[in-house]
Each structure stands twice: as C-alpha cells, then as structure tokens.
Amino acid sequence: MQSQSVRGWLMLEARESVRNLAIYHPPLAGREGLRLDFNENTVGCSPRVLKRLREITAEEIACYPEREPIEAVVADYFDIQPDELLLTNGVDEAIHLLCEIFLQPGDEALIVVPTFAMYEISAAATGARIIKVPTGEDFRLPISALLSQVTPRTRLIAIANPNNPTGRVAEPADLLEITRRTPQAAILVDEAYFEFYRQTLLGQWRDFPNLFVARTFSKAYGLAGLRVGALTGNSEHIRMVNRVSSPYNVNGVALACLPAALADQDYIRRYVEQVREGRELLQQEFAAWSIQYWASQANFVLAKLGLQTTGFVESMRARGILVRDRSRDYGCEGCVRITLGTTEQTTRLLQALRETLAEITTKEVSAK
C-alpha cells in the first residue's frame, strides 16, 4: 500500500509497473581483457571516425545537435526516404519509444524468449502485459505458437533477427506473415546484427505498414559508446514516434561522426569478414569437443557447456578473455555466449578455450 505523508497525501512512488520490473544488470564496470562478452566491435570504430572526432570544435559542442541532415545521409545509405527514419540513442531508445507510443496498461506485448532483455523492460514499464512465447530447444522462431497468442489487445511484437543470445534467424517470409496477420500491432524486427547476416526487411513497411526495423551502429560499426541507432518504418508512424522523441536525443558528437563511419565501408567489410570466419572456427571447435552450440548468423555463438558456467567464465577471465554466462536466460541453462572479433583475437580465443576446457575436463575426471 502506498504510504501517506503527514498531511495525509500519498507519497511519491514509481508506477506499479516500474516497481514490479525485473532488474536487468549487465556488468557496468570491471571489463578488463579481451571483451568477448557484449557483442561489441572488438577493435573499435574506423580511423575515419577518430579523425572526425579530433576535428570537433568547441562551437560544435556548444550547439544543440542537428539530426535532420545526418538522417538524410543515413536514409540515403539505407535506400529509404528520410521521413521513414528516426535516429535514436541506440536501439535501446528505439525500443523505448515504440513502447511509449503503442502500449498502454492492459495491452499485450509478445516477446519470444530467450531474447534481448530491453524489450520486456520497456514494454512492462508501460503497464502492458508481457506474453512470453518460448522457443523450442533449437531456438527457432515458434511461428504457430506466436500467432496463437495474438489477441485484439496485442500491440507490440518484438523480434531480434538475428536473435540475441542465440544467433538464430527467422525467415523473412515468416516475419512478414506475422506482420500481415497482426495489423493491430507494431512489429519490431531488430536488425542490430544485420552486418553479420546481410538479410533485411528494410522498406517492407511499404506493403506492411505496421512493420518497424531497427538498426544499430553499436555492433559492426564499433560506436556503442556514442549511442546511435535508427528506427525505420512507415512515415506516418515515424512521425508519431517523432512527437515523443526529444529533438536532441542523439548527441552532436555521434551525429558528427556517423557519416565518417558510413563512408568507411571497407573497414566494416574487413571486420565482418574476420568475424564470420571466426564464427565458423569457433563452431568447429565446439563440434570437436562435442559441445552443443547453435549455428549463429551474428557476431557471437551460444554454446551449452554442460558444466559449471561460472567456473568456465572465471577460467577464461583468468586467461584475459571475457565471455558472458547466459544461464539465467530462458532455456539457456549451462550456456555461455562468446563474441567473435578479428582473426588474431579468434586465435587467442581458441587457445584459451582449449586450455580452459582441458583444465575443466581434467578436474571433472579427477573428481569422479
């Protein structure tokens, strides 16, 4: 029950939906080592971005940021119209805005689990009911189960493609079928890992107006620290999102750097190539150790070690490599997620992985 002040008035309290939120606490400090735990670019952004960063003037910093000219550059790069795009403070903000605009208490948001935590947090904070649709053991998108949960109150369906933490992808035709059969809901297809997969639904909102596609510059582009992403969709809907968004949601430094990042596609191509090769090698390594993994289309692989994940994560950390324990995600007990980086980093990763697995296996055998 809400407490009362001396005058008998109610005291300030967060909304009930916020008080009831499950707490999401990714580590925010102590990440020394080779960072293969957050799906970031492991070597950083293009040198062209750094050059632009060094040229930034005091006057540029003093001015409120101008988003529109940069939105035109990004829209051109995506081959869509500028009014079909809103730059956001990372995809995190895009998710938040969509929830703010389309959800109200009593509405339903469908989320296929396991997936990226922010869908549930942003949706639940609005007071909407979260309907979790579990994937099977193969972590494929459960289309029929998802559609069977749709009701007239369904207002949001969020799907990461490729999904995090599994790396699994959904067929474009399936995503469009969901969109077609749920016209009352915003369908968010989160393409944060697009560059490692190369299939997109950008522009499909012209046939399916309730479709939104999100992209980030935090992953392949190495700009996670600048916080910039994009929400794209039907121009009427994007106009509504714009009503709620702060006009200065993306900072001026990020906006200044974004064209330089986009212009250096060679840098992205070279990096992505190495990640894709590394992904193959890591999957082969898991297969060689008879460790279950899920074929990934992103810059990470999820594997079920079948042993104490905390011990594994600690042993890898002792060898200077950070990986992420995903045991607490739905269906991921005993799983770790490992991000891929450059060829040289993959060599280092595989060496540490072999040593760690050998060490753990020896301990297990001697404990028997």
Ligand X SMILES: Cc1ncc(COP(=O)(O)O)c(C=O)c1O
Q: Which residues of 189-203 are buried (b: 16+ CB within 10 A; e: fewer)?
A: bbbbbbbbbeebbbe
160 touches ligand X (CB under 6 A): yes
Alpha-carbon torsion, ordered 245, 248, 253, 257, to 10 deg: 50
Q: Which of 170, 224, 282, 338 binds ligand X (CB under 6 A)?
A: 224
114 touches ligand X (CB under 6 A): no
- Token pair, residue 6, equals 């001396």
Q: Which of 41, 87, 90, 302 binds ligand X (CB under 6 A)?
A: 90
Is residue 89 within 8 Å of residue 229, measured between CB atoms? yes
Q: Which of 229, 233, 252, 341 binds ligand X (CB under 6 A)?
A: 229
74 touches ligand X (CB under 6 A): no
Residue from 145, 98, 142 nearest 123 by CA: 98
Minimum distance of ligand X from residue 94's CB (angstroms): 8
Minimum distance of ligand X from residue 202's CB (angstroms): 16
Looking at the Cβ atoms of 259 and 311, the one nearer to ligand X is 259
339 touches ligand X (CB under 6 A): no
Minimum distance of ligand X from residue 189's CB (angstroms): 10
Q: Which of 78, 116, 196, 205 binds ligand X (CB under 6 A)?
A: 116
Question: Which residue of the chain is nearest ligand X when measured via CB?
Answer: 90
Q: Which of 192, 226, 250, 321 binds ligand X (CB under 6 A)?
A: 192
161 touches ligand X (CB under 6 A): no
> Considering only 17-25, 90-98, 257-265, 305-313, which stretch makes contact with ligand X by CB under 6 A?
90-98
CA dist 64 and 251 (Å) reads 8
Minimum distance of ligand X from residue 119's CB (angstroms): 9
Looking at the Cβ atoms of 160 and 170, the one nearer to ligand X is 160
86 touches ligand X (CB under 6 A): no
Residue from 205, 349, 360 nearest 284 by CA: 349
CA dist 233 and 241 (Å) reads 10
175 touches ligand X (CB under 6 A): no
With CB under 6 A as the rule, give the number of residues binding ligand X.
Answer: 13
Alpha-carbon torsion, ordered 255, 259, 264, 269, to 10 deg: 70
DSSP letters, 120-167, are HHHHHHTTPEEEEEE--TT----HHHHHHT--TTEEEEEEESS-TTT-
Is residue 328 within 8 Å of residue 24, measured between CB atoms? no
CA dist 204 and 210 (Å) reads 10
Burial class for 27, CB neighbours closer than 10 Å (0-12, 13-18, 19+): exposed
218 touches ligand X (CB under 6 A): yes
Looking at the Cβ atoms of 90 and 114, the one nearer to ligand X is 90
> Considering only 89-97, 172-180, 271-279, 357-365, which stretch makes contact with ligand X by CB under 6 A?
89-97
122 touches ligand X (CB under 6 A): no
Looking at the Cβ atoms of 90 and 278, the one nearer to ligand X is 90
Q: Which of 34, 39, 45, 323 binds ligand X (CB under 6 A)?
A: 39
Q: Which residue has the tokens 């107006």?
A: 209
107 touches ligand X (CB under 6 A): no
164 touches ligand X (CB under 6 A): yes
Pairing of strands 85-88, 211-216: unpaired
CA dist 186 and 210 (Å) reads 5
Q: Which of 70, 74, 87, 91 binds ligand X (CB under 6 A)?
A: 91
> Considering only 76-84, 85-93, 205-213, 288-296, which stretch makes contact with ligand X by CB under 6 A?
85-93
User: In this structure, what are the phi and psi dihedrals at residue 109, rounded to the nearest 5 degrees?
Assistant: -120, 130
Residues found near ligand X in the complex (CB under 6 A): 39, 90-92, 116, 160, 164, 190, 192, 216, 218, 224, 229
